[in-house]
A and B are shown apart, each in its own frame.
Chain A
Amino acid sequence: EDQVTQSPEALRLQEGESSSLNCSYTVSGLRGLFWYRQDPGKGPEFLFTLYSAGEEKEKERLKATLTKKESFLHITAPKPEDSATYLCAVWWSNYQLIWGAGTKLIIKP
């Protein structure tokens, strides 16, 4: 069964403490992987799209990387405003998106 699994479910960090979020997938025929950020009470907001293994994208304190079976969202020296739920979604060969359940990130000042 095609699946997208995000880990950990929740992550608490001190301000400035770098870490990584994981998105692993078992779909065949990957066409792309998306990362979104979701703030409480709001819809997801697009961050990155990755298309092939080895690809990396960066935006401010965030860097997304992709391998053949997983993607990492690295957050460097996070600030409290980086607190949110981070979602990944995999676009596969039948043109459907499969979404992970998300990682809730809390950055304490």
Chain B
Amino acid sequence: EVQLVESGGGLVQPGGSLRLSCAASGFTFSSYWMSWVRQAPGKGLEWVANIKQDGSEKYYVDSVKGRFTISRDNAKNSLYLQMNSLRAEDTAVYYCARSSIAAAPFDYWGQGTLVTVSS
């Protein structure tokens, strides 16, 4: 059974940092692109970043460029999102999701982890 389990969310002050993790199981993690998608309270879905199978390509939404870094460890079947210089507008549930290629749909999603940026 495919499982994606996010962790690392919590309350952080503006300007602070947080590292999210996504533990994958039930499939060959190294064969998939992985993405982070977020959803602010009461708002729609917003894609944040994605990373190719071998980590050689990474793409980001403009609003997080220079602040967030996506990475993966295929040996540990894990995806990460390092979030620096956090802002109130980064408050959201963060989901990890997989796709076979960058243009493919997200066929499996985790249940999400909540990040709250507030003083």
Q: State whether these chains interact.
A: no
A interface residues, Cβ below 8 angstroms from B: none
B interface residues, Cβ below 8 angstroms from A: none
